[in-house]
Amino acid sequence: MQSQRLRASQTFSPPLPDPNAYIYSLHTAQLTVAYPIDVFGGGRSKVQSARAAADVAAARFVAAKTTIAANLTLAVIQHASLEAQITAARDAIDSDQQLVILLERRRAIGDLGESDVLAQKTALATVEAALPALERQAEHQAGLISSLIGVPTGSTPLDLPRMAELLLPSRLPVGLPADIIAHRPDVRAADAQVRGAAADLGTAIAARLPSLQLSGNIGGSANRIEDVFASGNPFFAVIGTLAQPIFHSHQLLHQQRASAAALDAAKAQYRSVALQAFLDVDDALAGLKTDAAALDAASRADVAASSSLRLTRRQVELGALGTTALLNASVAASQASALLVQAQAARLSDSVALFQATGTNLGVQSKED
């Protein structure tokens, strides 16, 4: 809508019924519409490129959340493993302290020599020396967990699950179909980048081709606002425009070539991401296979070593064996216990790696869940 006050020159005939009137007001109401005809798909390509960019951002956001969830789960597993090792070390310390008391009593009555007592004290001190390092690592993992869940370290006590409370999924696959990697957010992001690059190439090609636009306007004009749409005052116009870029010094051609090169790069990046995804899944499956064997062997070794230590300790208490056999049995039991905890943690960690490699939900959970 437009209103203006005009004065016409006496040389020209004023657009009013009264030829002697040279000052007048002109009111114009007009609606203008322009619509580009997307003959060669340039506009559609821009929309597809924008959607692809949004898909890339969404996939990267999911990848970041998946990475944080995996790191948090691994930290919980590692903390539980360290707590189990700390518990085992403290149990060994208590047991060794009791043995030191027992051996000192036997030395007092002349049943053992000083070297036997010193050997047991050495074993006790060795276990005690290893405990602070384990406690420090456990505290570090607890701090890491606090950071990952957005809580200041040390501000709130964390009720974290122990090793026995962590469960594996009921079923773990021995093989997976190749299309499983399509669920990975990094693969989805790479795919969206290819789609976006292809759309950008379409936009660059369309920019070199003719463009068609339809425009029109309708309205009315009068010296009185109430007569704008009176008979004889309305007007309209329909315009079609066809434009062809000519003088661009090959700029549009080079932009098209650059878009084609970007598409080739996006395809190569997609191939690289897909190959890495296949490798991650294969490594995770191979790890689960070896973890199962290692866990079975570690379980049997722990049972055997614990039984041997229990029997050897009883024989030492009865005087049937010396401290050398007890020390050997104690070292073997400690090593077997540590290997069992490590095997359990490795199997849990590799299970997390498999779920992360396939882009699915993590399957390690607590019994409380």
pTM of the predicted protein model: 0.71
Separation between Cα atoms, residue 237 and residue 7, nearest integer Å? 27
Q: Are 217 and 237 in contact (CB under 8 A)?
A: yes
Share of the chain above pLDDT 70, in %: 86
The two tokens of residue 166 are: 């962590």
Contacts of 221 (CB under 8 A, 6+ apart): 26, 27, 28, 29, 228, 233, 235
Three-state DSSP state, 7:
strand
Q: What is the per-residue pLDDT for 223? A: 76
Q: What is the per-residue pLDDT for 365? A: 43
Separation between Cα atoms, residue 254 and residue 205, nearest integer Å? 11
Q: Are 184 and 359 in contact (CB under 8 A)?
A: yes
Q: What is the per-residue pLDDT for 243? A: 82
Q: What is the per-residue pLDDT for 10? A: 59
Q: What is the per-residue pLDDT for 109? A: 76
For 172-218, the DSSP string reads: --S---GGGGGGSHHHHHHHHHHHHHHHHHHHHHHHTS-EEEEEEEE
- Which domains, and CATH codes, for the chain? 1-37+210-243 (2.20.200.10), 38-130+172-208+266-359 (1.20.1600.10)
Separation between Cα atoms, residue 189 and residue 63, nearest integer Å? 9
Q: Residues 181-195, buried b or exposed e (16+ Cβ, 10 A)?
A: beebbbbbbbbbbbb
Q: What is the per-residue pLDDT for 272? A: 93
Q: Are 317 and 105 in contact (CB under 8 A)?
A: no
Q: What is the per-residue pLDDT for 6? A: 65
Q: Which residues of the chain have pLDDT under 50?
A: 363-369
Q: What is the per-residue pLDDT for 270? A: 92
Give the length of the chain.
369
Q: What is the per-residue pLDDT for 364? A: 40
pLDDT digit string (tens) for 141-195? 888 888 888 888 777 777 888 888 887 766 666 566 777 788 888 899 999 999 9
Q: What is the per-residue pLDDT for 24? A: 67
Q: What is the per-residue pLDDT for 366? A: 40
Burial (CB < 10 A; 0-12, 13-18, 19+), residue 108, is exposed
Contacts of 297 (CB under 8 A, 6+ apart): 343
Pairing assessment for the beta strands 365-366 and 211-222 based on DSSP bridges: unpaired
> CA nearest 277: which of 217, 359, 219?
359
Residue type at 240 in one-letter notation: G
For 204-215, the DSSP string reads: HHHHTS-EEEEE
